[in-house]
Structure formats: C-alpha cells, structure tokens
C-alpha cells in the first residue's frame, strides 16, 4: 500500500476498492441531501465537505438534492439559505434536484408494489400500530388490514391521493416482516395523508412519501453511486436496500449506503428542533444570530469559509462517534484570521488619558503596520494627539508588582507611538477615576531609531485619539451555553445551561481608518481579539461583532475551575483536622465560596461521582457540593449513586459527614423518607451534639 493510500479515510478507501473491482470512474456520483426544514449548522458542514470533497478528489458530479417530503416543516426560506451556505463555503453542485421532482415516479412505484402484494393500506390509529409493531425484544404481529385485497388497497390509495380522507385516517405500509429483529423492517410507512401546501408542488398532492422510502429511490433515480449518511442510519440500511430491490433493473448503477460519524461539538446543540426552539422563543435573534452554530450564524459572527473547511479536514472522517472541542474550531479560525485580518486599534471600555506635556493643538499621523504576518499588507497612518482613550482595565492607581500596564510612576509604551509615565488622576465625587494624567518622552517615538525609542518598558497599550475617534457599537459574543453537553443531562432542560453573558454590548471607539468599512470586513482589534463588521452596520452607526478572542478564555477558565476544585479538596483535609472552631469556620467559608464559584455543571457532577467512595473526606466533599452549589442538586445525581452516597455518609465515623448528609436529606424529602429507618436508628445511637442538633431539626 502506498503512502497516499495509507492516508485515505475509510470512505475514500471504499471508493478506491470499488474502482479496483471494476466500477467505472465516470459512474461515480455523490449527493448532499439536506431536508429544507431549518438552516444548516456546523455539523452539516462536515457532510458538505465530505461529499463535495469526494467530488473534487474523483472529478465526479455532486448533486444538491433537497429531501422535501414533509411540507409541514419545510419552507423556501430554508432552501435559499442552504444554497447560500454552500456557495459561501466554496462548493458548486452539478445539479439542483428535489425529492418532490420524483413524486409521480414514487407514486407509480408504490402502485406497482401494491399490485405485487408488497404494500398495503393500513387504517389503524398510530397508537394501535405502535402496539402491533412490538418491541425490540418482542416480535410484532400482523395488523387487521395487512391482508386487504390488491383491489381494495388500490382504491384506498387512490382515494388518499385524491384527498378523500382526513389526515391520520390511512397510511400506506410496505409489507415486509413483522417478526424482523430490525423494527424498521416491520412493515414501515411509505405514505401518509397530509393536506398541506408544499413549497414547490403547491396543493397538487394530498399524500407525501416517508423519508425512508423516498431517499433511496431518489438516489437510484439520480444514479448516485455512494450514498453517504451519518451513523444513526445504520439500521436503516437494510430498509434502504429492500426498497431498492423492488425497483432495481440490471445495467443501472445501484446506490450503496455508507455511514460515518456525525460531528458532535461541545458547548452547543446540533438538533434542528432545539435550534428552532431557540429561534421561535426569541432566545436568539434568528437563525443567523452570531451565537448560533448555524453556518449563517458563524458567517455573520466573522468565521471564514476557509477556517470551517480546515476544521472539517482536521477532524477527519471516522466510524465512531466522538465529541470535538469547540476550541479546535476557534483555533482554525484564529490561524486563518491571523494571516488575513488587518490590525487596528479600538477601545471598548474607555477612560480618558491626557498627556500633560504634549502641545494642546498638536497632532501627528503615525505609521502603523497593518499585519506583521503579511508583508504585502503595508502600513496606514494613525492620528495621535494630546487626549486619548485607553482601556480602563489598563490602569491601576496602585498596582501590584506583576501588573504590566500603566500605573502612577510607571512607564509603558503606547502602540506605534511614545513611552508615557503615569503622573496623577482626576476623580469624580464618588471617587471614580475620570482622567489619567501622564507625561511622554518626546524622543521615544516608535521606529524613530533614537536611543529612547529602543528603551524597554514592561507593557504596550493600544489607544485611540479622542479627537479622531469614531464611536461604534461592539457586540461581545461568547458561547451560548455554559455546559459542555447542554442537552445530555437527564431531568435537565438544555435551556437551563444558557450563558447569561453570551451577548454583551459595549459602546466603543475605533480609529478613523474604519470609517468606511463594509459588512463582513474582518479585523484584529489589537490586544482584544478578532472582530467583523455586522450586517446591521451603516456609515451612521458602525456595528462590530466579536468573532473570537486572541486566546481561548474558556480553556483557561476550565483549568482554573479544575484546579480550584482540586485545591478545595485539599482544604477539606485541613477543615477535618482543624481543632479550633473559629479557624474551621473560616476554612469552611472558603470551601463554600469555592464551590459556589464553579459554573461547570459537568465538572461538578463528575466531582460528586468520583467522591462517592468509602473515604470520609471524599464523602464530605461530595455532600458539601450538593449542599452549597447553586448549579448541582440531588435530583441531578443518578438515584442509585445518590442512595449510595447517603447510605455511606450516614454510617460515616466522621461527625462532619453525618451533619452534612443530614442537611442534604433535609432538602431532599423523597430520599429522607427512603432513609427514614436508618435516620431513626441514628437518632437513638448518636452521641455527637452537632449531629443530634441537625437530627432534631428533621420532621418525619
């Protein structure tokens, strides 16, 4: 096997094997088949890059086919958005097709199947059909209408087509095997009655084919050679092949289905239903809200097509499900923008800085490099004057030793300009600093070559000349959810994990070179992150979106929280050993504060789970988390594990553990009742005064 062959992913290897076995290269054909019932998201981008990437690799056509078989949920708006996303990602399709193009052919094939005794009209209710289908461990049974005559089936099916029956009254089912171990093969639905307007066929049809029937047959009509879908369709493959068996004729390409692992991204949801809920409940501002994982949302936020394609290339094509860290997507974006985004200066939380020894009427236009990563980007002129804006966080009147920004008596450099020294401040009646007064070293201008200009100082600050500054609205976007897996927790709604700080709006000031920017233009605001111009922007009001920070703040926060919990567990040891009551109280206060500061639900759950073991300090830690966390409660823990925690804690030799578990049971009335006997026994035998005190507060 060559080096190139070793680097192939498994679907490419399947295609290579097909070609080696004699399949004609010119018969290769692929398709991307979205259902137009919502906007595409980053998960679809993986499928897009896979299918169109195969087309490019093998010089084969790739169709864009809309599987539009459910008019109740599909709209032309979604069709248009999907096409726009594909073009933006850089892909062109060979033919634009629709499953609705094939409605007549699909109907004709269904008639043939009825005549062959392979399909029948069922008039049961959906509930009765579900019972009749059995369970994964119990075979189904034949329904009362399974053996209708061909004539009656044809008559009823035509009546369904003509709109003679209400929705839900009849369905057409394939007649396969009600005892199959694959429940999808137990006489699946082929058609249902829907009196709905279709975005392309209008009111021509009163029946619509089910996805499982239409999808494979559509592949056959288009002569798709390799039908690639995600792993949840593995069990559908048998049905896919059965439907093809009914229509396949020799000398035509027979499609084959292959499955790959879908893209699962942490800190987001990929379900179209849940994304639609976010839109419909106005939790976000539409499908293209920059916090959404939709391609249109990512585009509006400032993501580049190249970064998304690179991301899909890095994660590859696999057979097993896994969860990709969103930080990898952000890394791909930073890597791309670092090469292409011009550097500019903007101040988002401004405080006035006055250079008291700079002439009042003087102004200079200093030279600033546009992008040090791109030699062809050139330079621009930036105005400098006596009064500037800097970031409020870049100044402390009295600063600690490791504060490398401006403070009284300390020097820093202004980017592309001069070295300044903090002299004094002006405060309002409330004691808030309103102005910072500094002096500058006239000989220290950047790039002048003077001895002073080469003097090293601790920090460099960005700034904007007040006289020349342009006001802008800056939308500071962050992740939409605070949990790694917001829709994976039992008894929890994914909306419980919304990030209250996912959008913050600042009134900022930008340098004058940005006066005539256009929607979609991208920049690095120096020291702040990457930003792009929003579609809401105009010459009268500039609007910028924060695309991504210069560093992964979430990774830093995650490490801090993990370290904080580890250190808190060490504090538990000190707390248990401390003999002085006052000192113990101070340690406990610190432990509680630490627990309350942790937002990461999954991390807290994992910590509780890991500490349910026969160790007093561990049991105490788990109980304290349940007692004091504002994010995790008893109902969030698996019942069996929670019962184990309670049971072991009540038997603990350490009074602190017994006190803590009783306080938790006091709030958990269901489990308090379950442990009534054990708690009652403890009341009779307990000797410790604090334990007795909390026991006496219980009311059975």
Which residue positions form the known binding site for ATP?
Answer: 35-37, 41-47, 230, 262-263, 270-272
The contacts of residue 158 (CB under 8 Å, 6+ apart) are none
For residues 136 and 134, what is the distance between their CA atoms, to the nearest angstrom?
7
Q: What angle do CA 329, 331, 335 make, to 5 degrees?
A: 120
Beta bridge partners of 474: 506, 544
**DSSP 3-state assignment of 576?**
helix
Q: Exposure pattern of 180-199 as b/e (b: 16+ CB <10 Å)?
A: beeebbbbbbbbbbbeeebb
451 counts as catalytic: no
Q: Which of 272, 309, 386, 413 is catalytic?
A: 272
Handedness of CA 470, 471, 473, 475 (dihedral sign): positive
Q: How far is CA 73 from CA 198, 230, 264, 322, 423, in A?
A: 10, 21, 24, 29, 65
Residue with the two structure tokens 């392309």? 200
The contacts of residue 433 (CB under 8 Å, 6+ apart) are 351, 395, 397, 425, 426, 427
**DSSP 3-state assignment of 622?**
helix
Q: Which amino acids are annotated as binding site, given as ranges?
A: 35-37, 41-47, 67, 211, 230, 262-263, 270-272
**DSSP 3-state assignment of 112?**
helix
Q: β-strands 62-66, 30-32: how paired?
A: parallel
For residues 598 and 621, what is the distance between their CA atoms, to the nearest angstrom?
14
319 counts as catalytic: no
**DSSP 3-state assignment of 438?**
strand
75 counts as catalytic: no
Task: Show the tokens assigned to 388.
Answer: 């500037």
Q: What angle do CA 60, 62, 240 make, to 5 degrees?
A: 110
3-state SS, one letter per residue, for 506-564: EEEEECHHHCCCCCCCEEEECCCEEEEECCCCCCCCEEEEEEECCCCHHHHHHHHHHHH
Q: Which of 118, 262, 415, 644 is catalytic?
A: 262
Cβ contact 356:423 at 8 Å: yes
Which among 636, 659, 588, 647 is positioned nearest to 612, based on CA atoms? 647
Handedness of CA 74, 75, 80, 81 (dihedral sign): negative
For residues 625 and 604, what is the distance between their CA atoms, to the nearest angstrom?
8
3-state SS, one letter per residue, for 170-204: CEEEECCCCCCCCHHHCCCEEEEECCCCECCCECC
For residues 507 and 517, what is the distance between their CA atoms, to the nearest angstrom?
17
Q: Which amino acids are annotated as binding site for L-glutamine, given as ranges?
A: 67, 211
Which of the residues are catalytic? 35, 262, 272
């Amino acid at each position: 096997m060559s080096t190139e062959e070793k680097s192939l992913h498994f679907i490419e290897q399947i295609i290579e094997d097909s070609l080696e076995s004699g399949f004609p290269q010119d018969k290769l054909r692929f398709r991307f088949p979205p259902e137009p019932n919502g906007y595409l998201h980053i998960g679809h981008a993986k499928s897009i890059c896979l299918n169109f990437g195969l087309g490019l690799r093998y010089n084969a056509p790739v169709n864009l086919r809309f599987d539009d078989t459910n008019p109740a949920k599909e709209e032309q708006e979604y069709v248009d958005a999907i096409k726009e996303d594909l073009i933006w990602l850089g892909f062109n399709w060979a033919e634009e097709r629709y499953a609705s193009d094939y409605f007549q052919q699909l109907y004709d094939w269904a008639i043939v199947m009825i005549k062959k005794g392979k399909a029948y009209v069922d008039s049961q209710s959906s509930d009765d059909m579900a019972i009749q289908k059995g369970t994964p461990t119990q075979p189904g049974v034949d329904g009362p209408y399974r053996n209708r005559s061909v004539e009656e089936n044809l008559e009823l099916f035509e009546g369904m087509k003509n709109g003679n029956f209400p929705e839900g009254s009849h369905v057409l089912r394939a007649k396969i095997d009600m005892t199959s171990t694959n429940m999808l093969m137990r006489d699946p639905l082929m058609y249902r009655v829907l009196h709905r307007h279709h975005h392309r066929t209008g009111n021509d049809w009163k029946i619509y084919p089910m996805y499982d029937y239409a999808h494979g047959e559509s592949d056959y009509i288009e002569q798709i050679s390799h039908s690639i879908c995600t792993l949840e369709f593995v069990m559908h493959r048998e049905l896919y092949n059965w439907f093809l068996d009914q229509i396949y004729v020799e000398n035509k390409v027979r499609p084959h289905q292959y499955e790959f692992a879908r893209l699962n991204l942490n800190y987001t949801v990929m379900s179209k239903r849940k994304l639609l809920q976010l839109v419909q409940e106005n939790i976000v501002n539409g499908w293209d809200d920059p916090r959404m994982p939709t391609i249109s949302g990512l585009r509006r936020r400032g993501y580049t097509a190249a970064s998304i394609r690179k991301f899909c290339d890095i994660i590859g094509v696999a057979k097993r499900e896994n969860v990709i860290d969103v930080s990898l997507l952000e890394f791909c974006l930073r890597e791309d923008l670092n090469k292409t985004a011009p550097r500019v200066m903007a101040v988002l939380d401004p405080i006035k800085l006055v250079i008291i020894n700079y002439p009042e009427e003087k102004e200079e236009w200093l030279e600033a490099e546009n992008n040090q990563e791109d030699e062809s980007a050139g330079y621009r002129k930036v105005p400098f004057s006596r009064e500037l804006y800097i970031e409020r966080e870049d100044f402390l009147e009295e600063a600690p030793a490791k504060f490398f920004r401006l403070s009284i008596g300390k020097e820093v450099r202004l980017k592309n300009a001069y070295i300044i020294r903090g002299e004094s401040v002006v405060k309002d009646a409330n004691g808030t600093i309103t102005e910072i007064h500094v002096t500058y070293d006239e000989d220290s201008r950047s790039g002048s070559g003077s001895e002073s200009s080469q003097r090293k100082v601790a920090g460099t600050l960005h700034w904007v000349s007040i006289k020349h500054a342009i006001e802008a609205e800056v939308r500071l976007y962050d992740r939409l959810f605070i949990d790694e897996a917001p829709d994976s927790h039992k008894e929890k709604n994914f909306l419980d994990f919304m990030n209250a700080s996912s959008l913050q709006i600042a009134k900022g000031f930008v340098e004058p070179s940005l006066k005539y920017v256009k929607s979609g233009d991208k920049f690095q605001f120096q020291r702040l992150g990457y930003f792009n111009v929003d579609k809401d922007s105009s010459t009268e009001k500039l609007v910028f979106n924060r695309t991504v920070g210069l560093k992964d703040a979430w990774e830093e926060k995650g490490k801090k929280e993990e370290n904080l919990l580890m250190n808190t567990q060490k504090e538990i040891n000190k707390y248990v050993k401390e003999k002085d009551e006052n000192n113990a109280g101070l340690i406990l206060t610190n432990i509680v504060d630490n627990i309350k500061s942790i937002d990461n639900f999954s991390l807290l759950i994992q910590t509780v789970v890991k500490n349910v073991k026969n160790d007093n300090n561990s049991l105490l830690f788990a109980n304290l988390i349940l007692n004091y966390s504002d994010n995790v409660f008893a109902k969030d823990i698996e019942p069996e594990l929670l019962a184990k925690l309670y049971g072991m804690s009540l038997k603990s030799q350490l009074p602190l553990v017994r006190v803590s578990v009783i306080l938790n049971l006091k709030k958990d009335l269901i489990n308090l009742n379950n442990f009534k006997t054990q708690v009652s026994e403890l009341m009779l035998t307990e000797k410790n005064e604090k334990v007795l005190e909390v026991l006496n507060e219980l009311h059975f």
